[in-house]
RNA sequence: GGACGGGUGGGUGAGUGGCUAAAACCAGCAGACUGUAAAUCUGCCGCUCCUUGCGGGCUACGAAGGUUCGAAUCCUUCCCCGUCCA
């Protein structure tokens, strides 16, 4: 099976219901990628992920390059084999680490010089290197190296980062295509470009146009949801999706909260990833059909109800809030396992419901209901 | 019976005249988390009052007295606990 993307239906809002095919299976869009930075979605086994219905996960170039090393993974026949995950994998490029590890790196036109957060050693991540690593990992979708900056940013800073991101995208694209020519076969990987430009609509448009020239099979919107208000995230996303070809997948990177996801889909986004469900779970924040449950709170100490009475997940079918709260209080690792299981189920279920909503043309209603529920805490 | 050492806030445990409602850690309570340096981080944590302020009052470092302008800190007696000696 090779790569393809097909839009099956477009909703009046602009939301798209589609199908992405990869050599490691089909993925129904819009979809959410659980984040498994180090080739592991924290607290979940691959069996659990399969059971939850995850069709694709995200892993990280920077982290896997540092440890265990992309060459090691190449020798072990690639990331799918290494982590025993037969379904699709998208690898992020390390562009986000330019942002999040700002204390440990220096950005130049050549690339990003990182000091490893593991042992302090110095590493140069260039657009070519990030692409090479991802080819070695053998992910289904590779992201180009981009420069993700903090928001709000002065226009000059955003402009410079955008120029660099475009230049890097060009180099990454060339490296990728050259490598395909060398192999004499189309690479078993898709490479996506990433639109930058901070919160400046014209810069975002400029970025999108420049990347479109490079003929990527899919496009991401990066550098959003890094502190700006949700309305701004939406406005900028809309600005970009308006320019992207209908036939190509659109990926909004790093989002979002449960109640925001429908909004993004309504703007024509097909794929998203976010650490929120997994990280929040480990910290005791559980998402439910009624809103958030901070399970460590005293009020749940004797609550025999499941996390979410409307949730069919394995955790809700079997365990009580009181037990979950106890596990967190006792710092048992089962707390993280059960909480993550539930939250990932919840996110994947949101996506299932969104795909249904698009089918029946009531996504807008779904989204406004989600916002209403998450505006207040559950009883 | 004797000799030392020690008794501090829910716990462990700093503090040996004023900067101490008392370090730090733990426990407890609440909050944050958006392409994961996160099983992390932040705030509160004696009681009370209000004009919520680096605000006022009260109580507090085994007990009771005392010295001092001022005591968790010095003195006296007593009560406990530990170690050792008889």
Cβ atoms of A252 and A235 within 8 Å: the answer is no
**A76 CB less than 7 Å from any atom of strand B:** no
Q: Is A156 exposed, middle or buried (CB count within 10 Å of its CB: 0-12, 13-18, 19+)?
A: exposed
**A15 CB less than 7 Å from any atom of strand B:** no
Q: For residue A366, what are the CA distances in angstroms to A265, A271, A344, A345, A353?
A: 11, 18, 19, 18, 8
The tens place of each residue's pLDDT in chain A, 379 residues long, gives 589 999 999 998 899 999 999 999 999 999 999 999 999 999 999 999 999 999 999 999 999 999 999 999 999 999 999 999 999 999 999 999 989 998 999 999 999 999 999 999 999 999 999 999 999 999 999 999 999 999 899 999 999 999 999 999 999 999 999 999 998 888 899 999 999 999 999 999 999 999 999 999 999 999 999 999 999 999 999 999 999 999 999 999 999 999 999 999 999 999 999 999 999 999 999 999 999 999 999 999 999 999 999 999 999 999 999 999 999 999 999 999 999 999 999 999 999 999 999 999 999 999 999 999 998 665 4
- In 3D space, the residue among A146, A168, A143, A127 whose CA is nearest the CA of residue A223 turns out to be A146
CA of A22 to C1' of B61 (A): 70
pTM equals 0.94
**Residue A234: how many other CB atoms lie within 10 Å:** 17
ipTM score? 0.93
Q: Which helix (H) or strand (E) holds A128?
A: helix A127-137
DSSP assignment of A228-268: S-HHHHHHHHHHHHTTS-TTS-EEETT---HHHHHHHHHTT
Q: Determine the pLDDT at residue A1.
A: 59
Q: For residue A281, what are the CA distances in angstroms to A2, A63, A100?
A: 35, 22, 21
Cβ atoms of A92 and A138 within 8 Å: the answer is no
Q: Is A304 exposed, middle or buried (CB count within 10 Å of its CB: 0-12, 13-18, 19+)?
A: exposed
CA of A48 to C1' of B45 (A): 40
**Residue A320: how many other CB atoms lie within 10 Å:** 16
Distance (Å, whole) CA A68 – CA A72: 7
Per DSSP bridges, beta strands A271-274 and A31-34 are parallel
Q: Determine the pLDDT at residue A185.
A: 85
CA of A111 to C1' of B37 (A): 20
Catalytic machinery residues of A: 92, 273
Which of chain B's bases lie under 7 Å from a protein CB?
A: 27-41
Cβ atoms of A143 and A93 within 8 Å: the answer is yes
CB-to-strand B under 7 Å, chain A 257-276:
257, 260, 273-276
Nearest-Å Rg of the Cα atoms of chain A is 20
**A283 CB less than 7 Å from any atom of strand B:** yes
Q: Determine the pLDDT at residue A56.
A: 98
Query: In the complex, which nucleotide's C1' lies nearest to the CA atom of residue A146?
Result: B35
| Region for residue A31 given its phi and psi (left: phi exceeds 0; alpha: psi -120 to 50; beta: otherwise) | beta
Query: In the complex, which nucleotide's C1' lies nearest to the CA atom of residue A43?
Result: B39
**A155 CB less than 7 Å from any atom of strand B:** no
């Amino acid at each position: 099976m090779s790569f393809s993307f097909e839009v099956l239906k477009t909703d009046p809002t602009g939301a798209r219901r589609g199908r992405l095919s990869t050599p490691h299976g089909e993925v129904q869009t819009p979809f959410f990628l659980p984040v498994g930075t180090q080739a592991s979605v924290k607290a979940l086994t691959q069996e659990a992920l399969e059971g939850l219905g995850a069709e694709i996960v995200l892993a990280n170039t920077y982290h896997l390059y540092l440890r265990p090393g992309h060459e090691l993974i190449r020798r072990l026949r690639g990331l799918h084999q290494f982590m025993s995950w037969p379904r699709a994998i998208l690898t992020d490029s390390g562009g986000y680490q330019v942002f999040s590890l700002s204390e440990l790196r220096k950005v130049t036109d050549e690339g990003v010089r990182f000091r490893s957060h593991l042992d302090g050693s110095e590493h140069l991540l260039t657009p070519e290197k990030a692409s090479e690593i991802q080819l070695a990992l053998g992910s289904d979708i590779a992201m180009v190296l981009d420069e993700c900056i903090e928001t709000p940013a002065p226009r000059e800073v955003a402009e410079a980062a955008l120029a660099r991101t475009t230049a890097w995208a060009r180099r990454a694209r060339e490296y990728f295509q050259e490598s395909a020519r060398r192999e004499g076969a189309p690479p078993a990987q898709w490479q996506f470009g990433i639109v930058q430009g901070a919160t400046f609509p014209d810069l975002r448009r400029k970025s999108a146009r420049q990347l479109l020239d490079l003929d990527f099979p899919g496009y991401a919107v990066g550098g959003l949801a890094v502190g700006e208000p949700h309305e701004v995230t939406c406005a900028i996303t809309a600005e970009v999706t308006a320019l992207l070809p209908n036939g190509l997948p659109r990926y909004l990177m790093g989002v979002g909260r449960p109640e925001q996801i429908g909004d993004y889909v309504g703007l024509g986004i097909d794929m998203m990833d976010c650490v929120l469900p997994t990280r929040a779970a480990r910290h005791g924040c559980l998402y439910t059909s009624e809103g958030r449950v901070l399970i460590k709170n005293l009020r749940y100490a004797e609550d025999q109800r499941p996390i979410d009475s409307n949730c069919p997940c394995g955790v809700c079918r079997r365990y009580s809030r009181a037990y979950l709260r106890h596990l967190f209080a006792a710092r048992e690792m089962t707390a993280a396992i059960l909480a993550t299981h539930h939250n990932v189920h919840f996110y994947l279920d949101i996506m299932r419901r969104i795909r249904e909503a698009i089918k029946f043309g009531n996504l807008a209603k779904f989204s406004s209901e989600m916002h209403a529920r998450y505006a207040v805490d559950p009883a």
